[in-house]
Amino acid sequence: MADFKGSTIYQIYPKSFYDSNHDGVGDIRGVIEKLDYIQSLGVDLIWSTPFFVSPLNDNGYDVEDYRKIHPLFGTMEDVEELIREAEKRGMGLMLDMVFNHTSTRHEWFQRALAGEKDYMDYYIFRDGGADTPPTNWQSKFGGSAWEYVPSLKKWYLHLFDVTQADLNWENPKVREELKEVIRFWKKKGVKGFRFDVVNLISKPKIFEDDNEGDGRRFYSDGPHVHEYLKELVADTGIGDLITVGEMSFTSLDHCIRYSSPEEKELSMCFNFHHLKVDYRDGNKWALMRPDYRKLKELFETWQTGMEQENGWNAVFWCNHDQPRIVSRFGDEKKYWKESAKMLAACIHMLRGTPYVFQGEELGMTNTGYTDISEYRDVESIHYYHILLNEGKSREEALQILRQRSRDNSRSPMQWDFGTYAGFSEQEPWIKIPENHKKINVAAEEADPDSILHYYRKLISLRKQYAVIREGAIEFLYREQPEIFAYRRLLEGEELVVLNNLTDREVVLPESVSCQNSICLLHNYPEGLCRNTLETLRPYESLVLFKRYS
C-alpha cells in the first residue's frame, strides 16, 4: 500500500503550467522541463488535470478518447517521458479519470446518436416530448440537465455541460470499458488516480422531479456507488496505488466508506463543504464574507469523524475549480505573506493528505479581470448571462465572477518577471494578472522569507514528524471563531497549531509558552517564537512541537 498518509500531492493544470513550445498554451513537455522545480517542493505525486483528446469545452473534463493525448498538450511519448523523469526524481504521476461522463464527441456517444442500441445503452437516454424534459434537474453549469435529440426523439442526461453526456454505469459493458482505461494507464506506470465527480456515477432507478432542489439529492452518493467503486478497484488492481475521489455534495458517512481501508474503495476523498462557507444560502453566485465559525465546525466534524472510523481526508484549499485562497480567506494586500502562510499551515498540519495547486505555493491571487471577454471558463460564461438575466448589472455580475470564477485559478503559473511571467513567449490563452511582477517563482526563490520557502518547510515537516502523518487530532478554542487551533498527538509527541484567521489581533484564551516547546514554524518575520504569547497578531500562525519522555 502506497504511503498516502506521508505524501503531499502537487496539482498541475497543464494548460497553464509551462508552455515549452511557445504557442501560448502550456503542455506536457512544459511539465517535464519544470520537474526539478516540482521536486524541490518535496512533493511525492503530481496530479495532472486531463490532457486527453477533447474538444476542450470544459478544458479537458470532456474526454473524447481516454487513451490519446490532445496534440495541444503533446504526445504519448511525452507522457511516457514525464512518468520516467518524475520517477527518477522520486515522484509519481496521478491521472485524472473523468468517468461520470464523456464528451459528446466520444465515439460511443456518436454511435449512440446514430441510433446504435448497444451504444445508446452506454448513456442515459429517456423518452419524452420535445418540450418536456424527463425531470426538472438542473445542470451544474446552469440550465436543464437534459438535452433533446430530435432524430432519436429522446433526451440524454448531462449533469454538466451539454457536451458532457453522463455514462450509464448500470451497464456492465460501460464498467468494463472504463476498467480497460485504468489498466492501460496503470501499465504505463501511473502511480495514482483521481476520479472526477465519482460519487455521481450511480443514478437512481426512478427519475423524478426535485421539488426542493436541482436534483442532486437523487444522484449524489447514489444507490450502487460503493459497489461500482469496489468492483473498479478490485478488477484493475489499483488498491495499492494512491487514489482519490472527488465527492460532490457528499456526506461524512459516505466518505468514511469510500476511504476506510477495510472497504477497499479509495485512499481518500475530496469534499467541498468547507469551501462553501462564503456561499450565501449555499449559492456559489451569491457573495458573503466567510463564516469562520462554520468553517471550524466543518473541519472538526470531518477531521474527527474520519479519524474515529478510520477514513482519510484529502486536505486542500485550492484546485482548478476554486478561487485562490489568499484572495478568499486571506488578505491579498496588506497581509499577503502572513495570511497565505497561515492558511497553508492550517491545512498542512491536519490529519489527511495535503494537496497544493500550482501557484498556491507562491501565494498567487485571483485574476481581477474587468471584462467578460477575459474569461474562458464555460461555467463563468454561462453564469455571467444567468446573472444578467436575473437583473444584475454588468458590473455586479463581473464583481461576482471576480470572486467566484474558476478562471481565478487557471491563469498561467507565474515563473518570473518577464513578459507573460516566464510562462510563454507568446500571448497566453488566458490573461496573466498584473501582480506577476511581484508574485513569481524567481522572486520567491531569492527571498528566504517567501511563501514558497514556507510551503517547502511545511511539506518537509510531514516527512520528519510521524505525529503529522499519524497523530490523532483534537480541536482547541472551539468557541473562538477567530482562532483555528488544534493539537495532534502520537505516543509521546505533541504538535500544537495556532492560527489567527483574521486581520485583527486576538487574545488567546490562555497564554501559550513557546519555551517548553520547539517552535517549528512561525509566519512573522522575526523568526521562530521563543516567548510566551498572550495574543496572536493579524493572521499569525505557529506550529509548536513537544516530545515527552
Rounded Cα distance, 200 and 202, in Å: 6
Closer CB to ligand GLC, residue 50 or residue 352? 50
In contact, 537 and 505? CB cutoff 8 Å? yes
- Smallest distance from ligand GLC to CB 159, Å: 8
Q: Within 292-331, which residues bind ligand GLC (CB under 6 A)? A: 320-321
Does 196 participate in catalysis according to the annotation?
yes
Site string for ligand GLC, 191-210 (x = CB under 6 A): -----xx-------------
Nearest-CA neighbor of 383 among 418, 416, 356, 407? Answer: 407
Closer CB to ligand GLC, residue 101 or residue 436? 101
In contact, 134 and 141? CB cutoff 8 Å? no
> Is residue 61 close enough to count as binding ligand GLC by CB under 6 A?
yes
Site string for ligand GLC, 427-456 (x = CB under 6 A): ------------------------------
Size of the site for ligand GLC (CB under 6 A): 9
Nearest to ligand GLC by Cβ — which residue? Answer: 61
Which one from 44, 96, 246, 379 is the annotated catalytic residue?
A: 246
Rounded Cα distance, 61 and 198, in Å: 13
DSSP string, 76-115: HHHHHHHHHHHHHTT-EEEEEE--SEEETTSHHHHHHHTT
Alpha carbon distance, N-terminus to C-terminus of the chain: 31
- Smallest distance from ligand GLC to CB 320, Å: 6
Closer CB to ligand GLC, residue 409 or residue 500? 409
- Smallest distance from ligand GLC to CB 94, Å: 14
Q: Helix (H) and strand (E) counts for the chain?
A: 17, 24
> Is residue 66 close enough to count as binding ligand GLC by CB under 6 A?
no
- DSSP annotation of 433: P
> Is residue 58 close enough to count as binding ligand GLC by CB under 6 A?
yes
Go through 224-257 and write b for each residue having 16 or more CB atoms within 10 A of its CB, e for each that does not: ebbebbebbbeebebbebbbbbbbbbbebebbbb
Which one from 64, 196, 379, 540 is the annotated catalytic residue?
A: 196
Closer CB to ligand GLC, residue 331 or residue 379? 379
In contact, 323 and 408? CB cutoff 8 Å? yes
Closer CB to ligand GLC, residue 291 or residue 321? 321
Q: Within 224-253, which residues bind ligand GLC (CB under 6 A)? A: 246
Q: Within 140-169, which residues bind ligand GLC (CB under 6 A)? A: 160
Query: Which three cell numbers mark 335?
Result: 497581509
* Cβ-based burial of 115 (10 A; exposed 0-12, middle 13-18, buried ≥19): exposed
Query: Which three cell numbers mark 188?
Result: 504505463
- Smallest distance from ligand GLC to CB 61, Å: 3
- Smallest distance from ligand GLC to CB 321, Å: 5
Closer CB to ligand GLC, residue 320 or residue 351? 320
- Smallest distance from ligand GLC to CB 417, Å: 30
Catalytic residues: 196, 246
Summarize as ranges the residues that interact with ligand GLC (CB under 6 A).
58, 61, 98, 160, 196-197, 246, 320-321
